[in-house]
Amino acid sequence: MHTTSVTSSYYVLLRHGKYIQQAPKAELKSQFCSITNSLPAVATKYLEKHKWDLLQALQTFYNQPAQTAVPNKKVSKDLEAIFDKYKDPESPAIILIDGTLAYLEDLGFDPEDLVSLTLAYVLKSPQTGEFNRDVFLEVWSTLGISSIQGMKSHILAQHQSIADSPSEFEKFYQYVFDFVRGSDVRIKTIGYEDAVLYWKMLFSSRESLADALTMLNHWYTFIETNKRNISKDAWNMFYKFVIQVIVADPVNLTGYDEMSAWPSVVDEFMEWLQDNEILPPQ
């Protein structure tokens, strides 16, 4: 039995099951992964088995022997051959930048397209241009995928799923900071140029942010003008600022409250907007 079956998150769901069952499939899958710490493929397996009844899927998951919760499939030779094609000759347990570029080319993905970040997210890449052998084989084996075409189809489907689910997009957004920073957790910030580059990549294609793009461009100008490197907290909180303040009123930002716990860079941005007569003084 899974020792995590008494998790408080699970019992919260039991109390609010009616609401949860009405959620979109992407949200149900995100909830399952968050509670069980499972791969999306495992979530899909249990949810489909129970016709997307989250509570039933969780009950089955927690009542299964631990060793069967995540399928322990034998890695196919075809899948190993795919990894080996791109592995670094001097570090055979990882794919590095040259192999990553070749992999993306075979998948038909532009390295500068957001879908390449989706690939990194699905394969839990620790930093730009790097994939770990064990994770690569585990993810694709769990999904039962051992061909380039199968990988491409799955990534495109996940890319759409992330785009359609606000909660999944926010998790994806938060992952991007760690991806850009790299695996050295001693590094606390990312450079302002990288931050702006990835903000533009993440936000420009989201229809829900179409009306916010003018204000977002002011934000990019402010960050570049002041050369402000970005901490993880500022990165994560800025997304909340985008949704709660900029999207709500993209012209006047009336939802901003200087007494709220926004990071200092957001407060400085508001002052900058007023100093440059983009917003009236408050």
CA distances from 174 to 38, 179, 180, 246 (A): 18, 9, 11, 19
Q: Do both 34 and 121 map to the same domain?
A: no
Q: Do both 82 and 38 map to the same domain?
A: no
Q: pLDDT (tens digit, 9 = 90+) per residue, 29-45? A: 777 777 776 777 777 88
User: What is the rounded average pLDDT of the residues 249-273?
Assistant: 93
Q: Do both 186 and 267 map to the same domain?
A: yes
Confidence check: pLDDT of 23 > 70:
no
Cα(155)–Cα(136) distance, integer angstroms? 13
User: What is the rounded average pLDDT of the residues 146-174?
Assistant: 94
Domain of residue 245, CATH code: 1.10.238.200
User: What is the rounded average pLDDT of the residues 134-158?
Assistant: 94
- What are the residues whose beta carbons fall under 8 Å from the beta carbon of 109, sequence distance 6 or more? 115, 116, 119, 152, 155
DSSP 53: -
Quickly state the pLDDT bin for 280 (edges 50, 70, 90).
Answer: confident
CA distances from 200 to 114, 149, 218 (A): 10, 29, 12
pLDDT, residue 57, reads: 80
Query: What tokens does 277 get?
Result: 């007569």
pLDDT, residue 16, reads: 43
**What is the residue-averaged pLDDT of the chain?**
85
Q: Quote the domain boundaries for residue 152.
A: 77-164
**Which of 194, 206, 195 has the alpha carbon at shortest distance from 159?**
206
| Domain assignment present for 174 | no
Question: Could you tell me which residue, 47 or 275, shows the higher pLDDT?
Answer: 275
Q: Do both 188 and 270 map to the same domain?
A: yes
Cα(198)–Cα(66) distance, integer angstroms? 38
Quickly state the pLDDT bin for 73 (edges 50, 70, 90).
Answer: low
Residue 216 and residue 209 in contact, taking contact as beta carbons nearer than 8 Å: yes
Q: Do both 109 and 134 map to the same domain?
A: yes
Confidence check: pLDDT of 118 > 60:
yes
CA distances from 55 to 40, 58, 72 (A): 16, 5, 24
Q: Left, alpha or beta for 155 (phi > 0: left; psi -120 to 50: alpha)?
A: alpha
How many folded domains does the chain comprise?
A: 3
Confidence check: pLDDT of 9 > 90:
no
Cα(279)–Cα(282) distance, integer angstroms? 9
pLDDT, residue 282, reads: 66
Q: How far is CA 256 from the centre of its chain?
A: 26
The residue from 39, 62, 85 where one domain ends is: 62
Prediction pTM value? 0.74
User: What is the rounded average pLDDT of the residues 249-274?
Assistant: 93
